[in-house]
Structure 1
Amino acid sequence: MRQNILRSFVAAGAFVLSACSTIPNDKPAPKVAGASPVTAPCPQGLPADTRCYSGQDSAGAFYWIAIPANWNRVLVMHAHGGPELGAPSMARATEDLQRWAVTVKAGYAWAGSTYRRGGYGVTMAAEDTERLRALFVQAFGAPRRTLLHGQSYGAGVAAKAAELYATVDGRKGPYDGLLLTSGVVGGGTQAYDYRLDLRVVYQYVCKNHPLPSEPAYPLWQGLPRESTLTSAELLQRIDACTGVRKSPMDRTAQQRANLATLLDTIRIPERSLVGNMNWATFLFRDVVQERLDGGNPFGNIGVKYSGSRDDAALNAGVQRYPADPAAVSKLAADSNPTGRVNVPTLGLHAIDDPTAFVELESVYRDVRERAGTADLLVQTFSRESEHSYLSDAEYPTLFAALLEWIDNGRKPTPEGIAARCKDIEARFGGGCHFDPTYVPRPLAARVPPRQRP
């Protein structure tokens, strides 16, 4: 897993979740105010003749805009992953532009916002993405097409934005197509269940988060608001219990047994254990304490854990928590997709994604089917084991397929996309790893079902 996933837990900021209510689809675009984008030297990795602009929008979000010399008049709005904990910074926007520089190399303009505040808030981030799009149009004119690309958590943001700013009463929405990659697209009320499972199984096995000497607290809180625990200190605890920082040969027999119980029960790879424990600690605190007024949106009543040496003892011994209906409802209003998307949508997900389980794609397809919009959804899958970034060649492949669908009405197929990538690979590199035959299992095959309010 890439190091930036761990860096996001160094500090945690606080803000009030003001966007946890549903927003009607005829909501006008967020107002654009403040200074126009300022010309800035492009970050490393972009074509030499690219024009770059940076700034801070009227709500306080930082952003980058990059326009290549050979601009094809298509704008790609990028919704970043995370969510980042701590105050937003230009450094995050810079990192995203460099990571997705292939978009600019392929001839597309690129614009990405940090969002106005750190921490969780899907609807808020969708509003901030739309605000930047409006700023781009104000400064540079309307592009021929606008594609909305969301990565990881940002895929949930992009899906929400596509719903909020869809066509209403014949008035065309601002986005022509939607690309969701490595997406956390099941909504907050389902996507994070396994992290509560990780916390309760970890505490049953390791008994050091919290330590016996520390005040007890319900694990769904992540941490008490006043806790000063750092990610480095949490890593020390995880390593003491599992030896995760050591080579397998240097772990004690007990550490090997503890690690096996965690990985086999939660069904995650070793390399994602520390990152997921960070999310289940610091992100949970942010969601619960700063967004939901202390309410619990995460429950594990009815879960049957399996994969340990003694499942009966495990199920009898783990702590159990019922989710609070009001907290679940509030989190759902902010983050859960409705499927009311009326633009062509492509998805790409690594089959062995260690952070956002590929089975979330089956949840999203079900959502789109219930909304009657599944005919506008094509999902593709790759034989990769990454989450933060997939192959360079795969992104322009998907953009091109999406544009052909929008412009010419030719709906792509997974087989056709895989073939198209082979033609593009020589230019962009990175390989093509599409598996057109893969179909994800239901989420319940990976994350045990539970009672829900």
Structure 2
Amino acid sequence: MRHFCNRAATSALAAGFALVMAAAPVIARQLGDASSMRARFQAAPEVKRLKVVETADGGSQVNAELNGRMFALRIPPNWNKQAVLFAHGYTPPRTGKADTVSADPVVDDPAHGLLGTAYAQGYAVGHTAYDKLGFAVASGIVRNVALERLLRKIGAKKVFLTGGSMGGSITALASQLHPKEFDGAMAMCGPVSDWTYTLQHVADVRNLYNYFSRRTPYELPGSKDVTTGINGINPVAFFLNLRKLQNDAVSDPKGPAAQIIARTMSAAPGMRNKADFATLSSGLILAIASIDDARQVLGGLPIGNRDVVYQSSLLSDAENAALNEGVQRYEADPAPRAKLIRDYSTTGNQHMKLLTVHNAYDPLVAYEHEDRLRSRVERAGNLKALAQQTWPTLTLSFTAPAAKTLVPAAETFKGFYGAAHCGFTKEQMSKSFNDLIAWTSDGIKPRESFRKNLDQ
């Protein structure tokens, strides 16, 4: 499930670029034309398989391989010698498949229009593939730093890092680990505090769903062991069960299916949850898709629930006791857990200007990550380098086109989907990006906003 996939381009921009080119043809040829860009990239020995073409507006589209991984850039004809990189989110591993990025980061904008907005303002924009699919936080940091250094070589004076979902975590961590590399960062809807929090949450959702759906028509196929994935199971069978659950819950809001959703989400500890299909299905999908991958990356199981107490206000005391007796119990392997905490958690060591952006409620990456990050940065006395903004929760129904990108065969589901993961509009992303630029250029710290409730 690759996050951020909106398109961003307008005919008005092309007209604006034409005016710039007519007024300043010499500058354009020096900064953004294809022949100039080709020469600059050819001078970098680490760049292979280079392809540079002139775009319709007189700029350059650059596709090449950097240290063994593909990247894509769009450089406008009126390039301001600044660049914006976008770190993409989690893509489930597939045997024999390598990570990829879209060839044109403006036409196929992975960032809800953010890259299109930046490009229209004269920024070069781009993104890079990682060394692997799936849990690739470490690689995402390394690859974006490498692309930033390449951009400096070809003339960039400032480079900003942005990212969504897992890419938000990459952005936040890179801002702390490489404070001298980038000139500012913007992390959207990401696990910006620590991955133990998210991985434990999705495992809890799967564990609780297994318990409440046991011996019902909604029980998921394959292994019920939450410490492993369900490789080899036909995805169609998996989604057929979820479709039946959702359709039955819509048809009978007080029936067994609706109760399973409500009980599962109400018993998940550590964060405020909505009892909607989006929260349930997002947690189940990520838990099953990521656990084997995370174990491979970290060298063992990094999460455990031996001492976790599950409690639902929808259950009686006796039912809660039975729940805690009946869920799967498992322990984390000490070394992988220590590695996850050490290498995949932000600290209070925030010196680069970082703007984080979150929906008031996100069904996959909890808003509470924002609170956890802020408390660490505040304790370290570095709040001057952190700004946080909250946008209202975006909700979707299966009739909405965007729902089809989130759930396979969405048209076969009924009605309400729930809150959207990374549910931002182009206007919201543009506003936050411009706030970041004003902060880094003029010292005007963005106006912060925090969650009032699960919707605002």
TM-score tier after normalising by the smaller chain length: 0.7 to 0.9
* Greater C-alpha Rg: 2
**TM-score, normalised on structure 1?**
0.73
* 1:244 alignment partner, SS class: helix
Kindly indicate whether residue 86 of structure 2 is the aligned counterpart of residue 78 of structure 1.
yes
- Paired with 1:32 and 1:360, the residues of 2 have a C-alpha distance of 40
Q: Which of 356-365 and 155-164 deviates more?
A: 155-164
**Aligned partner (choices 135, 151, 161) of residue 136 of structure 1:** 151
Contact 1:184–1:356 under 8 Å retained in 2: yes
**Displacement, 1:262?**
2.2
Question: In the alignment, which residue of structure 1 is the partner of 2:391?
Answer: 382
Map 1:4-403 onto structure 2 (within 5 A): 4=2, 33-35=46-48, 37-40=50-53, 48-60=57-69, 62-86=70-94, 87-91=98-102, 95-97=108-110, 99-100=112-113, 101-138=116-153, 140-143=154-157, 145-166=158-179, 173-207=180-214, 218-223=225-230, 227-240=231-244, 243-245=245-247, 248-249=250-251, 253-266=255-268, 267-268=273-274, 269-288=276-295, 290-299=296-305, 301-309=307-315, 310-385=319-394, 386-403=420-437
Identity score, percent: 23
Q: Deviations over 1:296-331 (max 9, x none)?
A: 424352323214433333223212223222121111
* 2:426 alignment partner, SS class: coil
Contact 1:239–1:245 under 8 Å retained in 2: yes
Q: Deviations over 1:34-72 (max 9, x none)?
A: 327422476xxxx84542211222132x22111223333
Q: What's the RMSD between the two structures over aligned residues?
A: 3.2
**Displacement, 1:133?**
1.4
Contact 2:111–2:164 under 8 Å retained in 1: no
Code of the aligned partner of 1:392 = K
Contact 2:249–2:258 under 8 Å retained in 1: no
Q: Deviations over 1:126-146 (max 9, x none)?
A: 0011111122233x3123x22
**Displacement, 1:400?**
2.5
**Displacement, 1:390?**
1.2
Cα–Cα, structure 1 residues 339 and 307, in superposed 2: closer, same or farther, change >3 Å?
A: same
Question: In the alignment, which residue of structure 2 is the partner of 1:431?
Answer: none
- Paired with 1:286 and 1:83, the residues of 2 have a C-alpha distance of 11
Q: Which consecutive unaligned segments of at least 5 residues does structure 1 have? A: 8-30, 167-172, 415-435, 442-453
Q: Which consecutive unaligned segments of at least 5 residues does structure 2 have? A: 6-43, 395-419
Cα–Cα, structure 1 residues 395 and 319, in superposed 2: closer, same or farther, change >3 Å?
A: same
- Paired with 2:118 and 2:443, the residues of 1 have a C-alpha distance of 23
Kindly indicate whether residue 444 of structure 2 is the aligned counterpart of residue 410 of structure 1.
yes
- Paired with 1:368 and 1:129, the residues of 2 have a C-alpha distance of 24
Higher relative contact order structure (alpha carbons within 8 Å, sequence separation ≥ 6): 1
Contact 1:297–1:331 under 8 Å retained in 2: no
Q: Which of 145-154 and 100-109 deviates more?
A: 100-109
Code of the aligned partner of 2:143 = D
Question: How many residues in Structure 1 have an aligned counterpart in Structure 2?
Answer: 375
**Displacement, 1:394?**
2.4
**Displacement, 1:178?**
1.3
**TM-score, normalised on structure 2?**
0.73
Q: Which of 193-202 and 75-84 deviates more?
A: 75-84
Contact 2:229–2:291 under 8 Å retained in 1: yes
Cα–Cα, structure 1 residues 57 and 332, in superposed 2: closer, same or farther, change >3 Å?
A: same
Cα–Cα, structure 1 residues 6 and 80, in superposed 2: closer, same or farther, change >3 Å?
A: closer
